[in-house]
Every structure is written in C-alpha cells, then in structure tokens.
Amino acid sequence: MSKIFVDACLRKPTPYTPVWMMRQAGRYLPEYMAVRAKAGNFLNLCHNPELAAEVTIQPLDLVGVDAAILFSDILVVPNEMGMKLEFLKGEGPVFEKPVVTEADVDALLGGEEAANKLTYVYETIKILRKQLDVRGDEKALIGFTGAPWTLATYMIEGQGTKTYNICKKMMYSNPALLHKILKKVTEVVKFYMEKQIQSGVDVVQIFDSWAAAIEPSKYDEFSWKYMVEIAEYLKAKYPHIPVIMFPKGISAFIERGLVYGNFDVFGVDWGTPMAMAKEKLGDKYVLQGNMEPCRLYDKTATTQCVEGIQNIMKGEGHIFNLGHGILPDVPVENAIHFVKECQRVSKK
C-alpha cells in the first residue's frame, strides 16, 4: 500500500502535503501522561514495547498527523553501550559517569553487540507494524536516531549543556579522542538503524539537535560527515527507505552550499528561512518543516505561518512539520489546528 508520507519523501505526487510534528508523542497530551504514569517513569515507558507502541499511535488518532514516530529516546543508544542513564525531574537526562578518557571509550560496548541490546525498540516497532497494517489507514512509521555528535554531547557532558564547554574543549585540544567517540557511536547507529528497518519502520530520521553548537567551518568534520556515512550505508542497502536528515540551526552551513550526501529529505529548522532552503537545497532534497514551534500557542499565528510556507513550497517536494519539537504546554486543540491547516492549504 502506498503511504502518502513515504510518497512525499520520495517526491511522488500526493493528494496534499503530509504533516507530522517532532516530539508529537509527549507531555502536551493528557493521554500520554496517563500511560507514562502507568509505566512509572519515562525510561520504563521506553522499555515497555506495548505501552511505547500505545503512545506512538496516540497522535495519529488525537491530532490527525500523517505519520507516527516511534516512541523512544535518542539516549537509549549510549545507555546500551554501557552508560548508566537517568531522567531527573525538571533536569532532563543525566549519565552517571561521562566519557573522559580513551579508556572510557574502549570500555563501551560497540558495533552490532551494542545494537543487539536495544531489543525493546525492535519489539515496539514490530507491534506498531502489525497495528498500523491492521488499521490500513496509510499512516507511515518513522524510526530515528540521534546524530553521533548530538549523542556525543550527552556522553561527554553527562547531561544537557548550554555551553558545550567540555566537548568543545575536546574538539580543539584532543580532536582524535572526539573522533574516536564519534566513530564508535556511528558504527552502533548503523546497525541500530538497520535493525529498525528490518523490524518494520518505513522511514528513518537522524536528529542532530545540537548541530548549531559547532562553528560552521568545523561542522562537516565533527558531525555532517558521520551523518552522511550512516545515511549512505542505509541507502546502499535499503534504497526504498527514505532517510531524513535534521541538523538543527545550520543556516550558515546551508548558505555556503555545504550540504551533500545520499539521503532523501532535509529537515529545515525554524531559524532557517524556507525560501533560502528551497533555493539552496530544493532541487536535490525534499524539504521538511519548518514552523517555529511557539506559533502553536496562537491559532492565527499558526495559520499565517502555514500559509506562508505553502506559498513558498507550493506542495512540491515538501513535508509540513515544526522547525523543532512541540512544547509540553501547547493546547492539544492548537496542535490539531496546525495539522488541519497544513492539510487544508495544500489540498490539490
């Protein structure tokens, strides 16, 4: 069966421009909060395939998006490489023992062995594949990973950071160690994405949420080339599976024409003008995005933005999304309004 979201990723004609939202399964939905409470906490929810599948489906029914994104987190990868992880209330993710030395990197599990430990993710995908096929409503399932750089920032800093000073100190004073970490993560992620595809996802997205922490002249060396390596590995083996790249906040890199590689869709963040992305990348890649997520607080601001993006993209080589994740205090009805407006303005 042909799925509208997959067709759009591959630049095939669709009846309207499909839409989904980054972080669409999450705290703004009371139904998500109820399932998370049942699981006990966020990581337990990620580890419970039945419940993880349930919250993955929620935004399809409650908000009307055209694709489901697997419910999990990017940090399950370093966790299964052997780094103890906790999500602290109000503080986000924390690794007990950050990576500091070469010996710390060597002690981490690598390659397929690490990827094999993520069985609960593959189990969740298999449940979802069955559920989506039974529904028969042409909704696609998106798998994902963090980019090696974004994962490395948490592995090195031990938690979220505003300054990235520890990993940037490593970038300039011991780049070989940073590359060693990035290479090891890249190898695990290749197997991880491959196993997600074998378990049944239709599309994969690579999130480089902290791309903008790297100065533009260093971005290729420390992040983009590793993302491209993963994408090209997957496209060589699974050419029918679309790959979406989302490097957040790299308009200077785009402006200089440095985006390259074999993938299908480029996720445009909200700080990059869609017209500029179209001019620089629109011939080569389908573009995804890019409403500023805070516009969701106001329906008029949402409609204006959706119409503006539609006027630029005109339903060609485009997927609607936010330019980053939806925030927990957005009213559900405003999210529904966004989805309906995207489907309305782009209807052919």
The contact set with ligand CP3 (CB under 6 A) reads 22-27, 36, 42, 69, 71, 73-75, 87, 92-93, 144, 146, 160, 207, 209, 325
**Residue 154 bears catalytic tag:** yes
- Smallest distance, Å, CB 159 to ligand CP3? 9
Q: 28 or 345: whose CB is closer to ligand CP3?
A: 28
- Smallest distance, Å, CB 85 to ligand CP3? 10
Q: Assign 92 to helix, strand or coil.
A: strand
Angle at which helices 165-173 and 175-199 cross, to 10°: 120
**Residue 23 bears catalytic tag:** yes
Active-site residue identified among 28, 122, 154, 219? 154
Active-site residue identified among 36, 202, 226, 233? 36
Burial 129-143 (b: 16+ CB within 10 A, else e): bebbeeeeebbbbbb
Active-site residue identified among 23, 129, 164, 220? 23
- Smallest distance, Å, CB 275 to ligand CP3? 24
- Smallest distance, Å, CB 162 to ligand CP3? 12
Q: 93 or 200: whose CB is closer to ligand CP3?
A: 93
User: Any residues with CB less than 8 A from the CB of 224 and at least 6 apart, and which?
Assistant: 247, 253, 258, 259, 261
> What is the rounded CA–CA span in Å between residue 76 and residue 5?
26
Q: 73 or 220: whose CB is closer to ligand CP3?
A: 73
Q: 294 or 312: whose CB is closer to ligand CP3?
A: 294
Residue type, 294: C
Residue type, 142: I
**Residue 27 bears catalytic tag:** yes
- Smallest distance, Å, CB 246 to ligand CP3? 8
**Residue 36 bears catalytic tag:** yes
Active-site residue identified among 7, 11, 73, 238? 73
User: What 8-state DSSP symbol labels residue 322?
Assistant: B
Q: 20 or 285: whose CB is closer to ligand CP3?
A: 20
Active-site residue identified among 16, 27, 164, 220? 27
Q: Can you list the pairs that 282-288 forms with residues at least 24 positions away whose Cβ atoms lie under 8 Å?
A: 282/317, 285/259, 285/317, 286/8, 286/9, 286/10, 286/11, 286/317, 286/318, 286/319, 287/313, 287/317, 287/318, 287/319, 288/244, 288/246, 288/318, 288/319, 288/320, 288/321
Active site positions, annotated? 23, 27, 36, 73, 154
